[in-house]
Structure 1
Amino acid sequence: MFFTMFTFSFSGVTNELRHVQKVDEILENSISIDDFSFYSNSYMYDAYGEIFSDIYSAENRIYLPYNLIPATFIQAIIATEDRQFFSHKGFDMNGITRALFVNAEKNGIEQGGSTITQQLVKNIYLSNERTYNRKLTEILYAYQLEKTISKEKILEYYLNAIYFHNGVYGVEAASQFYFSKPAKLLSVAQVAFLCAIPNNPTLYNPFTNLENTQTRKEWILTKMLEMNDLTDAEFQEALAEKIELKPARKKDIFPDYVTYIHYELEQLIGEKEGFHQKIVDATSMEERKTILQKRQQRVEEILASGVSIYTSLQPEKQSLIYETIEKHLPEEHIQGVAVIIDHKMQQLVAISGGKNYEKFNFQRGFQAFRQPGSSIKPLLVFAPYLAETNASISKTISAASFCKNGYCPQNYGGAIYGNVQIETALKHSFNTPAVRMLDEISVEKGFSYFDKFGFSKIVQEDFRLPAALGGLTHGVSPLEMTNAYTTFANNGRFLKAKGIQKVVDNNGKILFQWDDEPKIIWNDEVNSKMRTLLNKVITEGTGRKANYSRNYIGGKTGTTNDFHDLWFIGLNENYTTGVWIGEDQPSSLAKLNSRAPHLLIWRDLMRD
């Protein structure tokens, strides 16, 4: 019986031994360098290279590679946290022995004897529980990590990971947050002051316990002197230096533009990484929803990696929009937006989202879809008509009454005219000639041009004669309309203006940028005729209040039924600007119409 039991046990043990792994193998499977991925701040830059938006949430961190970390930070941390850092293999037996004696004396765990490497693995892989079991695991992990990556890389990770209170992580973000300048510009005393905080962020929080922070700063300087990192003169100078905090606030201005750039970034990543095509190919709403979620996760991942988003924002023009709309539209309940595009570069230089706009709210500049009224005529009717018939702008069209299949539009005020020139029909915005022209070339032909602008809310039900006067199912956005009008500044060629120039990672590598090619909508001759017509609108027609002295200006008014929307879209030599005025819940703006704030806003923006 004994022999049988022994044989059975021996067989079981042998079987178990076959599955036993070496400690090294276990640690190799547990330690992954991929775990060292830190959230890092992202930034939006304006056209002049200035930051106008810091992007971060819970962790304010600006990641610095080892070669950019100031030597004084490394010296201060090693002098106070781990003097044997460059000689040990992840743990320091002298430190551990010392800690064991202290803990035995206190009958608890008072000291940990942790090296920098141990502190790093605790933050990345382990919990903060104070047990000997966790401590042993920490030592083993630290030992394995030192075999895996260099000492310099460990310091890089550590100095970017440590917490400086107030939501700030890493030496660069701490420097920017507490002193409003980069780490490379800090004095020795300022470095020692910052290095005091991570030891106990609450106890050494400079905003609540400044005296504690100062005391530990002096202790750190003493340790740096002991390590010969400082001369006596440097030590005395650093001790005498008075520390003055200059807290930096999170930079986040121009919320209208910031909101739009977040949207455009989503579109850019979606196009470049194939999400858009997958959305198009989706066979169900559930599948489409899943793809949209994945796209959003990817955007968040990109922003968390620490990127620089270079944009076309011109701050002076963005500010000018705010001032001009406030000047000409003081009524609280009435909204107004403007879009300014540099059509030579096809760059969106300014866009507003409404008066007193707050970030990530409904952004009327690109999210409000309204009936465009007569501002649609140049795009859907007049330019396509000239392209299809090769007519001159002096050709006459009937402005008499019109009826077809029960649709009987009227001119403003019910006026009836005889034959009028195309030029007259546009500059005075007569309705019946426009409907006749679209009917002559066919609704389908007019939309064959209009569709090239990529208006996002156009549906099949819009393919009817009322569209000639802006009668659409869902409408168009101010950004879409302004984009379309840039065609008249570019010889009939169309390319959507972009706010994002490029997205760059921490190493300066370009991750994303637009590379679209312009489309030809109509030829130079048609475009030249349209420029003349648009100029006549301002100099002689419905847009006279927008006139100012300039080499070339042109544009078109738009007023919808019951004066629910007031539009003016136009251009000069350098910019195309669109203005929309209305209420979020459409109601009559008849009392405003005679004052023409949309024309005055456009004039002041373009003139100034």
Structure 2
Amino acid sequence: MKRLTKLLFSLLSALFALGLLGAVAAGGAYVYLAPKLPSTESLKDMQFQVPLRIFAADGSLIAEFGEKRRIPLSYAEIPEPMIQAVLAAEDDRFFHHPGVDYQGILRAAWHLLRTGEKGQGGSTITMQVARNFFLSREKTFLRKFNEILLALKIERELGKQEILELYLNKIYLGNRAYGVGAAAQVYYGRPLAELSLAEYAMIAGLPKAPSRYNPIADPERALTRRNYVLGRMRSLDFIEPDAYQAALATPNTARYHGQEVEADAPYLAEMIRTEMVARYGDAAYTDGYRVTTTIDSRLQNSANHALVSALLEYDRRHGWRGPEARTDPADPEAGLQRLRDTPVTGGQIPALVMGVEERSARVRLADGTDVEIPWEGLEWARAYRSDNATGPAPKRAGDVLAPGDLVRIRPTGEDQWALSQLPQVEGALVSLNPDTGAILSLVGGFDFNRSKFNRVTQAERQPGSNFKPFIYSAALEKGFTPASIINDAPVVYEDAGAEKLWRPENYSGRFFGPTRLREALYKSRNLVSIRLLREIGIEYAVDYVQRFGFRPDSLPRNLTLALGTGVLTPLELVGGYAVFANGGFRVEPHALARIENTRGEVLFEARPATVCRDCPEPGLPGALPLLPVGRTASGDEPPVVATRVLTPQNSWLITSLLQDVIKRGTGRRALELGRGDIGGKTGTTNDQLDAWFSGFNADVVTTCWVGFDQPRSLGNRETGGRAALPMWIQFMGEALKGRPEHVQPEPEGLVTVRIDPDTGLLARGDQPDAIFETFREDTVPQQTAVAPLGTGSGGGSAPERLF
């Protein structure tokens, strides 16, 4: 008995000595490691890596930039079942231990000795926070000891709810989702508060191994893990038996939900991304900035449709260029693989031709669905020969397609399809609020994924006749009137630089003699514009048009300026037309409205120069010096009033002339909108390299452009009125839908009188063909037209300007 007592005493002494030695070692390690532990102070003001998000003015998501998807939530915003599910899966004693769960460690050790497998309970949530925020993931005793010490330190300095909030926002949950808020969106496409018990349990099962228990990558294993979490919740009395059974019976509904883009504006998003990186560097991608733009999501979606429709219509007019690729019909699997590797572009869906009948074709989509293209969707496909010629109309489907062809199709109605192709031509559309310069919609090309070149801001092209209104505005300021007569007759100029003669012509090749300015503009007479520019002076015109925001270095110092041979971007051009639309004020096109940080604090708010018709107007009529357009970065400064750069009379008269372009000129096609408040101007450059239409009412101003990136002819008759105007009509029809007609009121200082249409002079009292014209008070004609010879009223006529 004494021997047994002695042995037991020796054993207890040895254990005590080992424990004492361990305690001393642990104390020594603490004394050594504690000063080297990182400060936990940063956890109190933790900035999570949150992507840059860009929104339309109405809050619709435009784009998200950043490697990590995260939606930070406060503890109060996290539903209780989500918290309970995580505690059940990871650390059910979280609210009871001091950061290190000694019971859990002993339980995990015993489980490991018993089964040889690691089980739940070894690492607390606080220890995971310590590891995720401060430590590496290497599996060493030193790192584990540091983790324990840090966990104890964190618990001393932060509350339990603060720690749990950090954890639930930090953990990686697969598919680029960090935190439970992002996981709810990624796997279920809904906010966390809207998920079910089964979905909370599914997310709670992910921290252990996000790839192994991923409900998308491995649904069966994920369900097993989810049901384990539900079982733990039931055993801890977090849920009732009925709720437990119902959740167990719920199928796995998880699928990948990418960023839910509600306003498709990738070119605008890229502009904003570039601006944010310029402001904040790489932190733009991680610091959770929320950028609100001026974009109207409804108008943006309409602009996308209008541009795609116009380019496809142009493309169809010029014929079928054949399939994108030809695959071997004897090896359908290879063809289907090629099909699956071909992305949708500009809404045009890739398809593989499986069979061809006499008047139809059967094609297969990437998802394995077969659809039929009827003859109505094929008959357009005359073979492309050149920009000006197509082959004969096809007589049967085999003239167009063959099995194995990889083609594009587009929907034309419910279960209706048509053959399509990716256009080679490109386009641009940009619209503004003319009173503020806020960009309402912007489309820089057919498809951003095909070409990221933004033609709204980067394509410097000749505007052609789209530039003429600015020359006419300069002429009105010089004393010309809408009734001034200019001779539309042949003219030859010597080009000293090229040592050759320049013989400009009208688009039609014809000459029409003495012509009133109003008629010359709505019929877009080139020779009248050239003579008008020569009369007012090139240098005067160049100085004058700068008030519209045009760069002087983009404008030629010769008579070709009248034909729009300068180089401008669509954004510059729409800004110029905004001056006419708003009654004569210069506004700055802009898209960035507000920048906020993750706490909702406003870091930047645009205060653009805004039209205020009842305010004292900066800028004087007359000389009208070019004044800077002011914008403030932030603060409570009063609104910046836009500078007046045109007299109200000048602006109103030019608007009247541009309304006639639509009523009786090259823009007549826009009459289909059924509105009397719209004006605009077509533009076509030499050899039809560029086609334009810019137009407006007092609420919206829009510029559209069509052309090839590597300039080449659009083809005969592809003028601004044919290639670009349909895009403008489709967009403005939507933009102005439901809006009452809105024109700027006629200002004081204008008078309307009857004139002789041939001479521009005052009409005789008995003249049957007299028309009404509006003049500035100081430019009303003083002479009355003389009746033509043979009428018994005398002879001769008023002199005409035949320069």
CA gap 1:519/1:328 in 2 versus in 1, 3 angstroms: farther
- Asked whether 1:426 is paired with 2:521, we answer yes
Structure index of larger Rg: 2
Q: How far, CA to CA, are the matches of 2:199 and 2:513 in structure 1?
A: 82
Post-superposition CA distance 1:96-129 (Å, at most 9, x none): 3444566678999988822111111212221111
Give the TM-score normalised by structure 1: 0.82
CA gap 1:489/1:583 in 2 versus in 1, 3 angstroms: same
Post-superposition CA distance 1:206-235 (Å, at most 9, x none): 123323222222222232233332233433
Tell me the number of residue pairs that the alignment of Structure 1 and Structure 2 aligns.
557
CA contact under 8 A between 1:347 and 1:499: conserved in structure 2? yes
- Asked whether 1:305 is paired with 2:429, we answer no
- Asked whether 1:481 is paired with 2:590, we answer no
- Asked whether 1:583 is paired with 2:699, we answer no
Which residues of 2 match residues 71-110 of structure 1 at below 5 A? 71-99=80-108
Post-superposition CA distance 1:228-267 (Å, at most 9, x none): 3223343333334344235423334765x22223314544
Q: How far, CA to CA, are the matches of 2:570 and 2:164 in structure 1?
A: 51
Give the alignment partner of residue 695 of structure 2, picking from 570, 573, 579.
570
CA contact under 8 A between 2:459 and 2:569: conserved in structure 1? yes
Give the alignment partner of residue 607 of structure 2, picking from 515, 518, 527.
515
Q: How far, CA to CA, are the matches of 1:546 and 1:31 in structure 2?
A: 65
Post-superposition CA distance 1:438-489 (Å, at most 9, x none): 3444434323343234346x527734443232222xx111222122212111
CA gap 1:231/1:511 in 2 versus in 1, 3 angstroms: same
Give the alignment partner of residue 393 of structure 1, picking from 478, 482, 490.
482
Give the TM-score normalised by structure 2: 0.63
- Asked whether 1:59 is paired with 2:68, we answer yes
Give, in angstroms, the shift of residue 35 of structure 1. Answer: 8.9
CA contact under 8 A between 2:522 and 2:666: conserved in structure 1? yes
- Aligned-partner residue type, residue 557 of structure 1: T
Post-superposition CA distance 1:377-426 (Å, at most 9, x none): 212x1112222x24322123354526477484623266556543222332
Q: How far, CA to CA, are the matches of 2:286 and 2:116 in structure 1?
A: 47
- Asked whether 1:38 is paired with 2:132, we answer no
Which residue of structure 2 aligns with residue 195 of structure 1?
204
Post-superposition CA distance 1:534-578 (Å, at most 9, x none): 122222333333433312221112221222111111123532222
CA gap 1:592/1:353 in 2 versus in 1, 3 angstroms: farther
Q: How far, CA to CA, are the matches of 2:227 and 2:666 in structure 1?
A: 74
CA gap 1:486/1:303 in 2 versus in 1, 3 angstroms: farther
- Asked whether 1:599 is paired with 2:607, we answer no
Once the two structures are overlaid, the 10-residue window that deviates more, 581-590 or 347-356, is 347-356
Which residue of structure 2 aligns with residue 260 of structure 1?
268
Give the alignment partner of residue 659 of structure 2, picking from 535, 553, 558.
535
CA contact under 8 A between 1:384 and 1:446: conserved in structure 2? yes
Give, in angstroms, the shift of residue 341 of structure 1. Answer: 3.0
Q: Secondary structure at the match of 2:716?
A: helix
Once the two structures are overlaid, the 10-residue window that deviates more, 581-590 or 359-368, is 359-368
Post-superposition CA distance 1:180-227 (Å, at most 9, x none): 211101122221121112111222111233232222222222322333
Which residues of 2 match residues 439-518 of structure 1 at below 5 A? 439-455=534-550, 458-459=552-553, 462-472=556-566, 475-517=567-609, 518=642
Q: How far, CA to CA, are the matches of 1:335 and 1:232 in structure 2?
A: 62
Q: How far, CA to CA, are the matches of 1:468 and 1:578 in structure 2?
A: 19
CA contact under 8 A between 1:368 and 1:477: conserved in structure 2? yes
Give, in angstroms, the shift of residue 367 of structure 1. Answer: 1.9
Q: Secondary structure at the match of 2:515?
A: strand
Q: How far, CA to CA, are the matches of 1:83 and 1:108 in structure 2?
A: 20
CA contact under 8 A between 1:266 and 1:299: conserved in structure 2? no
Which residue of structure 2 aligns with residue 285 of structure 1?
none
- Asked whether 1:362 is paired with 2:453, we answer yes
Q: Secondary structure at the match of 1:367?
A: coil
- Aligned-partner residue type, residue 88 of structure 2: A
Give, in angstroms, the shift of residue 68 of structure 1. Answer: 0.9
CA contact under 8 A between 2:184 and 2:191: conserved in structure 1? yes
Give, in angstroms, the shift of residue 490 of structure 1. Answer: 0.3
CA gap 1:512/1:218 in 2 versus in 1, 3 angstroms: same
Which residue of structure 2 aligns with residue 328 of structure 1?
313
More helix by share: 1
Which residue of structure 2 aligns with residue 7 of structure 1?
none
CA gap 1:220/1:604 in 2 versus in 1, 3 angstroms: closer
Q: How far, CA to CA, are the matches of 1:100 and 1:210 in structure 2?
A: 30
Q: How far, CA to CA, are the matches of 2:31 and 2:235 in structure 1?
A: 45
Which residue of structure 1 aligns with residue 756 of structure 2?
none
CA contact under 8 A between 1:261 and 1:500: conserved in structure 2? no
- Asked whether 1:120 is paired with 2:105, we answer no
Which residue of structure 1 aligns with residue 401 of structure 2?
none
Q: How far, CA to CA, are the matches of 1:90 and 1:430 in structure 2?
A: 84
CA contact under 8 A between 1:321 and 1:352: conserved in structure 2? no
Higher relative contact order (CA 8 A, sep 6+): 1
Which residue of structure 2 aligns with residue 287 of structure 1?
none
Q: How far, CA to CA, are the matches of 2:41 and 2:116 in structure 1?
A: 33
CA contact under 8 A between 2:296 and 2:440: conserved in structure 1? yes
- Asked whether 1:341 is paired with 2:432, we answer yes
- Asked whether 1:317 is paired with 2:302, we answer yes
| Unaligned ranges ≥5, structure 1 | 1-19, 270-293
Q: Secondary structure at the match of 2:37?
A: helix
CA contact under 8 A between 1:79 and 1:223: conserved in structure 2? yes
Q: How far, CA to CA, are the matches of 2:141 and 2:150 in structure 1?
A: 14
Which residue of structure 2 aligns with residue 5 of structure 1?
none
CA contact under 8 A between 1:109 and 1:130: conserved in structure 2? no
Give, in angstroms, the shift of residue 48 of structure 1. Answer: 4.3
CA contact under 8 A between 2:52 and 2:66: conserved in structure 1? no
Q: Secondary structure at the match of 2:297?
A: coil
- Asked whether 1:223 is paired with 2:223, we answer no
Q: How far, CA to CA, are the matches of 1:102 and 1:221 in structure 2?
A: 21
CA gap 1:405/1:211 in 2 versus in 1, 3 angstroms: closer
